[in-house]
Amino acid sequence: MLPDKDGPGGGGCQTTSVGEDPSVSLFREYLRLRTVHPDPDYDAAIRFLDRIAEELELPLKKIEVCPRRVVSIMTWEGTNPKLKSILLNSHTDVVPVYQEHWKYDAFTAVKDAEGNIFARGTQDMKSVTIQYIQAIRRLKAGGKKPMRTVHLMFVPDEEVGGHKGMETFVKHPEFQKLNIGFALDEGLANPGEAFTVFYGERNPWWITVHCPGSPGHGSRFVENTAAEKLRSIINSFLDFREKEKQRLNTSECFTLGDVTTVNMTMVKGGIAYNVIPAEMDVSFDLRIPPTVNLQDFEEQIKQWCKEAGEGITYEFAQKHMNQNVTSTDLHDPWWNAFCTACTEMNINFEKEIFPAATDSRFIRAVGIPAIGFSPMNRTPILLHDHNEYLNEQVFIKGIDVYERLIPALASVPALPDEA
């Protein structure tokens, strides 16, 4: 049986361990909520957020955007609420686990002797949620009041295909009422000393290519088979994949977010060993950076299909076309406020295009600048991986960062369109 208590010196599964920072205890409590797909316990998360809102004396609004899918919003009203607000976005759901590959139960939030907290969601992204909350708790306790209103938004279903929670909510009238000027969302850990800041994302395309062909008996050399066309399609996609991989490996200027990744994820076809199938399908997961002309890229796919043979078609399960990026020009008031706060804290960071996908893309798509930032340096990237963990000292340092960063963003002077 997997252990359900802390490692040496730990305090078991109680809400608070002896001598533990209260913020860490709250973090571990939140990690124990099983908001895990395919059946996340969102009711537990809502009860948790209700309690936090009461403790912080902040109003909490709940909007059901889909059946049993609720977006919760805490609001810390600013001294000038007519100005555009600051959004602190996070999601409540986490991806499934393969428990047999974990050192500890993934939902008991075990803390080992080095202070590493093991649980699903430690990096993606329950840590950021609690860091937002605790930073605002500190600010309120210190008598601080923001000039701009600050919203803390907790979204469901970020981890399922399509990010339906945010995708649906940005079209909702309640979203418009938030009058958002700038948003912070999740980023990634960084094993080095610097932090990573994401100002854009790659577009996910999930594509299935259908290859029809001549059926027949498995003992014959049938011409024009589906498998021959399938091989050509696979070769075209994977040859392109190899070229992009070489670009990444041979250039010091490129990060993963700057190149297109291609991965073959599903192959379907056939009914029996001795029957040549009439159709075979292959599916790919593509992630395309905002520097790529998407129309030209689809034309390339069409050409690969044409070269592979007659009758080949394709369809998209996902095809995101938004290529908005957030300005990183120092003359931009939001970016300037972010950079200035980081400089004052002696924080070094690296700007990148996010290699995967977050809710930020839907925020940017409606014209709101968004930055992806999780204050986790000196931490291996383990989101969605086995034994996901975050060290408690890194976690606490992140609260310090947000305690400085949130007031800096909320203090950006009125912009020309707000006069």
Q: Which residues are catalytic?
A: 93, 158
Whether residue 38 is preceded by a cis peptide bond, meaning omega within 30 degrees of 0, is yes
Q: Are 62 and 53 in contact (CB under 8 A)?
A: no
Using CA atoms, how far residue 19 sits from 9, 111, 137, 396, in Å, is 11, 13, 20, 15
Helix, strand or coil, per DSSP, at residue 193? coil
Q: Give which of 124, 214, 226, 183 is closest to 364, Cα–Cα.
A: 183
Helix, strand or coil, per DSSP, at residue 153? strand
Helix, strand or coil, per DSSP, at residue 267? strand
What is the per-residue DSSP string for 336-398?
Answer: HHHHHHHHHTT--EEEEEESS--THHHHHHTT--EEEE---BS----TTSTT-EEEHHHHHHH
Angstrom distance (rounded) from CA 116 to CA 103 = 12
Tally DSSP H helices, then E strands, for the chain: 10, 17
109: tokens are 């939030």
